[in-house]
């Protein structure tokens, strides 16, 4: 490999944040603050360009050093060997923002004064691939689709809502929204796996429109891997927004029946159910949740599809494992085998389910008492019932009234908190709740095993 210094030239570039010690980049003298102009003569726009271009055994780097010198470097390395560079953003460049004005947009229903990141509407296919975000495809061009195909960015999660072009334009308030099926077909033809989402709005994209959407999308199976049908979420902050009707027991039951007919038909014809209603519909309708096996490989957990069935399955598996052990020995893991009293704060939607699990634990472990408290969502409005949208303030206010018996510990779901942080949606922290409620808070992972361990006070595998 060699270096050639030239005068710096003005070009678009990406900035190196960090160089891994002992890496190829470190050995050739790259440093934090250096700028990558091109790799193999091609400009690097995002992380996908970068990863693709560095896979060859021989690559040519054009670098602007911190002192403005231009280096042209030829590197010989193993195929797929990394250079050891890190950048400010995981994607390198900025995320694409949403250009729609959806009639059901949840972000438009947020109150003022929340942290700024909550108001950003991303609609970036790269984030769909990297993080599982859902995208509408209204802001991408042919070259963007070509890039997805070129780098085989699979799976991609797409917010479809309806395959009726005119209706989709109306629901998304975007004249570019009508060609979603053409884009999906292009991706499917290239072997890109696609998971689709339908936010179901009463008297708008339900009924025969839902039939049309399921029919159009399921015809592209197996590339269209799954379709979720989720109820529209409505907060109390809808002034100036379109009038939407919340789902109720009748509409939820109708949706479940309609989707069940499609599942039966598709299972016979395609070998997969493909389409699934969100758990919330079953709770609204007062219907029993489907069995664990009916969710196949659980393709839409992030949309609240199959969460209850999976959690219950994990819970039963681990509880049965503990029952096979000597329960007396398990009790000895707790100091003095004394009575343990804990409480759980959960959303209204999950209350009956969580309370049922708590009662099962009490039957199995005689020295445990668990109080489960459903917390109403005063912050967003009582129509919002999911646990993940509870705020710290609501928990404090409702668990401070009437002197509830919280015991020695309060358990909360990790879904209430910002990822990898201890902050609620309203910027209350776990520490603030501990101080105001005068109790230890324990964060529970979203799986049945951790629920059991945290509830009974064991920190073992």
What does the pLDDT look like over 72-81, one tens digit per residue?
999 998 988 8
In this prediction, residues 19-23 reach a mean pLDDT of 92
pLDDT above 80 for 2: no
Cβ neighbourhood burial of 397 (10 Å; 0-12, 13-18, 19+):
middle
pLDDT above 70 for 334: no
Q: Which of 195, 225, 218 is nearest to 268 (CA)?
A: 218
Convert the pLDDT of each residue in 260-310 to its tens digit: 999 999 999 999 999 999 999 999 999 999 999 999 999 999 999 999 999
When pLDDT is cut at 50, 70 and 90, the band that residue 1 belongs to is very low
pLDDT of residue 214: 99
Convert the pLDDT of each residue in 118-154 to its tens digit: 777 776 666 666 666 889 999 988 988 998 898 888 9
When pLDDT is cut at 50, 70 and 90, the band that residue 23 belongs to is very high
- Top CATH class, 107-303: alpha beta
Could you name the CATH architecture of 5-87?
Answer: Roll (2.30)
pLDDT of residue 128: 61
> In this predicted structure, which of 88-97, 101-110, 397-406, 443-452 has the lowest mean pLDDT?
88-97
Mean pLDDT (the chain) is 90
pLDDT of residue 109: 94
pLDDT above 70 for 172: yes
> In this predicted structure, which of 145-154, 204-213, 452-461 has the lowest mean pLDDT?
452-461
CATH 3.80.30.10 boundaries in the chain: 107-303
Instruction: Say which residue, 335 or 361, is predicted with more confidence.
Output: 361
* Residue 205 neighbours by CB under 8 Å, 6+ apart: 161, 162, 164, 167, 171, 198, 213
Q: Mapping DSSP to helix (H, G, I), strand (E, B) and coil, where does residue 136 land?
A: coil
When pLDDT is cut at 50, 70 and 90, the band that residue 9 belongs to is very low
Q: Which of 195, 274, 201 is nearest to 243 (CA)?
A: 201
> In this predicted structure, which of 29-43, 223-237, 276-290, 424-438 has the lowest mean pLDDT?
29-43
When pLDDT is cut at 50, 70 and 90, the band that residue 404 belongs to is confident
> In this predicted structure, which of 108-117, 310-319, 383-392, 416-425 has the lowest mean pLDDT?
108-117
pLDDT of residue 336: 52
CATH 2.30.42.10 boundaries in the chain: 5-87
- The secondary structure of the chain in percent helix, strand, coil, rounded to multiples of 5, reads 40, 20, 45
When pLDDT is cut at 50, 70 and 90, the band that residue 4 belongs to is very low
pLDDT of residue 80: 82
Q: Structure pTM?
A: 0.84
> In this predicted structure, which of 137-151, 373-387, 414-428 has the lowest mean pLDDT?
137-151
pLDDT of residue 328: 57
Give dist(CA 41, CA 54) in Å, integer. Answer: 12
Decide: 35 and 63 in contact? Cβ < 8 Å. Answer: yes
Could you name the CATH architecture of 310-456?
Answer: 3-Layer(aba) Sandwich (3.40)
When pLDDT is cut at 50, 70 and 90, the band that residue 46 belongs to is confident
When pLDDT is cut at 50, 70 and 90, the band that residue 7 belongs to is very low
pLDDT above 50 for 461: no
Kindly state the tokens that stand for 280. Answer: 């919330």
Decide: 375 and 346 in contact? Cβ < 8 Å. Answer: yes
Instruction: Say which residue, 240 or 3, is predicted with more confidence.
Output: 240
CATH 3.40.50 boundaries in the chain: 310-456
* Residue 329 neighbours by CB under 8 Å, 6+ apart: none
């Amino acid at each position: 490999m060699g270096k050639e210094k030239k005068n710096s030239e003005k070009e678009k570039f990406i900035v190196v944040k960090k160089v891994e010690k002992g890496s190829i980049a470190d050995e050739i003298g790259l440093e934090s603050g250096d700028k990558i102009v091109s790799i193999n003569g091609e400009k690097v726009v995002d992380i996908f360009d970068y990863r693709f271009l560095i896979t060859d055994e021989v690559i040519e780097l054009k670098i602007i050093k911190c002192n403005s010198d231009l280096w042209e470097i030829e590197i010989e390395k193993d195929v797929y060997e990394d250079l050891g560079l890190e950048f400010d953003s995981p994607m390198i460049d900025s995320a694409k923002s949403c250009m729609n004005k959806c009639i059901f947009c949840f972000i438009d229903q947020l109150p003022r004064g929340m942290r700024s990141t909550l108001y950003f509407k991303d609609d970036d296919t790269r984030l769909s691939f990297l993080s599982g975000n859902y995208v509408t495809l209204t802001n991408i061009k042919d070259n963007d689709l070509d890039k997805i195909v070129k780098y085989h960015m699979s799976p991609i999660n797409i917010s479809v809502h309806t395959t009726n072009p005119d209706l989709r334009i109306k629901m998304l308030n975007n004249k570019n929204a009508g060609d979603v099926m053409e884009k999906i077909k292009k991706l499917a033809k290239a072997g890109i796996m696609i998971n689709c989402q339908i936010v179901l709005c009463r008297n708008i994209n339900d009924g025969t429109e839902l039939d049309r959407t399921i029919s159009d999308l399921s015809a592209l199976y197996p590339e269209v891997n799954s379709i979720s049908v989720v109820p529209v979420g409505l907060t109390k902050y809808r002034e100036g927004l379109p009038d939407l009707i919340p789902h109720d027991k009748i509409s939820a039951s109708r949706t479940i029946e309609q989707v069940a007919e499609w599942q039966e038909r598709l299972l016979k014809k395609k070998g997969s159910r493909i389409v699934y209603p969100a758990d919330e519909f079953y709770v609204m309708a007062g219907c029993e949740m489907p069995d664990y096996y009916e969710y196949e490989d659980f393709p839409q957990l992030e949309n609240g599809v199959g969460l209850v069935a999976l959690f219950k399955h994990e819970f039963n598996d681990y509880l049965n494992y503990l029952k096979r052990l000597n329960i007396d020995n398990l009790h000895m893991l707790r100091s003095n085998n004394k009575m343990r009293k804990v409480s759980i704060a959960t959303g209204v939607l999950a209350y009956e389910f969580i309370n049922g699990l708590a009662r099962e634990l009490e039957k199995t472990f005689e020295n445990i008492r668990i109080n489960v408290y459903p917390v109403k969502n005063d912050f967003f409005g009582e129509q919002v019932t999911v646990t993940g949208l509870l705020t710290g303030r609501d928990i404090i206010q409702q668990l401070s009234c009437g002197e509830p018996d919280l015991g020695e510990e309060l358990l909360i779901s990790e879904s209430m908190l910002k990822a990898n942080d201890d902050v609620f949606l309203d910027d209350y922290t776990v520490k603030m709740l501990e101080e105001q409620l005068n109790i230890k808070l324990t964060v529970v992972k979203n799986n049945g095993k951790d629920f059991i361990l945290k509830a009974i006070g064991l920190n073992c595998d």
